[in-house]
């Protein structure tokens, strides 16, 4: 049986051990506070079957690793943050996953979530304007980030690699370019990152870019002569591969959008990317989308009608995409393991139980 690398994103906020999160979630349980408040407002809302557990606890992560691996999810992609010259939300990975006794059952890699942070994480003030953290960094901070990532994570035996090269994903190319002072400076910084990775003993670095829609990357704010498409960003900055983070990054929602519409669009979306983009595209499947839990007043756009059966249909399309390209690494990304406040999670809940994980196991097996 062919083995697939099924990689689920992890949003590492479900822990109270990061003191800087208290400005958003003052009860000290991370964004579980938001999930609980949303359920109080909407008693029909599904809740985590495992309860509100601290994911920085290695015992908790041991259970999650076993559940993931038993169902064919064998890679975690950790959202990784750097704000105000220091890391943010590393505890889930450092204290949870890396101290779990069964961590060898999983691989992991990092997605640098270098976006700005406004008030949306604070449900009390989610509609307010203003920024709390800026995601852009200058060259000095970039080098600090790269060295930290190489030393602390690439060297871990479970770090996920393609052809021996550690995979490192960058979420927001616009912020990267902005902070580093232009496309040429950003390219120089990424080339330096590659060189440092080789110096550390690896054959290279697999730089991965989060792909939104083809024209969702605007480089023109810094370099007026650049057209700013996603394919331009890949070509100019030298990314090796791309994948999506969420279905909503390519399908318009309007007031709402049936989940099935996104599933039906997958073949054409992926074909268009493959035709235009010079980097390898790894197919992506999301569980759903509804971020109303982060707001006191509902009314945000959502995906409707998501079910484990439709999710399975999307997984089969991703499997076919990979099977049709026998030369590519069989990597498929999923949103997500635990995006409870965006209603896109594989973890078992009180509505579907383990059905989404069972869909992964049914399609991919990985026995």
How does pLDDT run along the chain (367 residues), one tens digit per residue? Answer: 579 999 999 999 999 898 899 999 999 999 999 999 999 998 889 999 999 999 999 999 999 999 999 999 999 999 999 999 999 999 999 999 999 999 999 999 999 999 999 999 999 888 888 899 999 999 999 999 999 999 999 999 999 999 999 999 999 999 999 999 999 999 999 999 999 999 999 999 999 999 987 766 666 555 445 556 888 899 999 999 999 999 988 877 666 889 999 999 999 999 999 999 999 999 999 999 999 999 988 777 889 999 999 999 999 999 999 999 999 999 999 999 999 999 999 999 999 999 999 999 999 985 4
Q: What are phi and psi of 57, to 5 degrees?
A: -90, 120
**Residue in 131, 138, 69, 79 with CA at minimum distance from that of residue 104:** 69
Give the largest Cα separation in the chain, rounded.
54
Within the chain, residue ranges assigned H as helices are 32-41, 58-70, 91, 139-149, 173-180, 183-199, 230-237, 259-276, 308-323, 355-364
> What does pTM read for this prediction?
0.96
- Domain 5-364 fold: TIM Barrel (3.20.20)
């Amino acid at each position: 049986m062919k083995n697939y690398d099924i990689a689920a994103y992890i949003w590492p906020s479900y822990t109270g051990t990061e003191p800087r999160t208290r400005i958003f979630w003052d009860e000290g349980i991370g964004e579980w506070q938001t999930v609980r408040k949303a359920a109080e407002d909407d008693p029909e809302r599904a809740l985590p079957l495992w309860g509100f557990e601290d994911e920085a606890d290695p015992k908790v992560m041991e259970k999650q690793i076993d559940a993931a691996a038993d169902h064919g999810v064998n890679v975690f992609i950790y959202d990784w943050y750097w704000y105000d010259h220091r890391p943010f939300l590393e505890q889930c990975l450092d204290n949870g996953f890396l101290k779990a006794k069964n961590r060898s059952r999983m691989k992991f890699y990092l997605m640098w979530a270098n976006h700005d942070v406004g008030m949306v994480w604070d449900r009390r003030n989610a509609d307010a304007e203003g920024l709390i953290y800026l995601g852009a960094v200058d060259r000095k901070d970039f080098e600090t980030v790269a060295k930290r990532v190489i030393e602390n994570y690439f060297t871990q035996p479970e770090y996920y690699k393609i052809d021996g090269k550690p995979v490192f994903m960058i979420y927001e190319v616009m912020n990267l370019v902005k902070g580093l002072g232009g496309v040429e400076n950003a390219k120089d910084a990424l080339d330096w990152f590659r060189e440092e990775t080789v110096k550390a003993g690896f054959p290279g670095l697999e730089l991965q870019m989060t792909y939104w829609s083809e024209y969702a990357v605007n480089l023109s704010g810094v370099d007026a002569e650049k057209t700013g498409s996603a394919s331009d960003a890949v070509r100019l900055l030298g990314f090796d591969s791309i994948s999506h983070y969420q279905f909503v990054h390519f399908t318009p929602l309007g007031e709402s959008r049936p989940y099935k519409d996104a599933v039906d669009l997958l073949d054409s979306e992926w074909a268009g990317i493959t035709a235009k983009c010079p980097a390898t595209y790894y197919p992506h499947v999301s569980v759903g989308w509804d971020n109303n839990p982060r707001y006191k007043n509902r009314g945000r756009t959502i995906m409707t009608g998501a079910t484990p059966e439709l999710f399975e249909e999307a997984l089969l399309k991703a499997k076919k995409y990979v099977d049709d390209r026998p030369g590519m690494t069989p990597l498929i990304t999923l949103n997500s393991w635990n995006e409870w406040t965006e209603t896109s999670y594989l973890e078992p809940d009180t509505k579907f139980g383990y059905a989404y994980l069972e869909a992964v196991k049914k399609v991919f097996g990985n026995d």
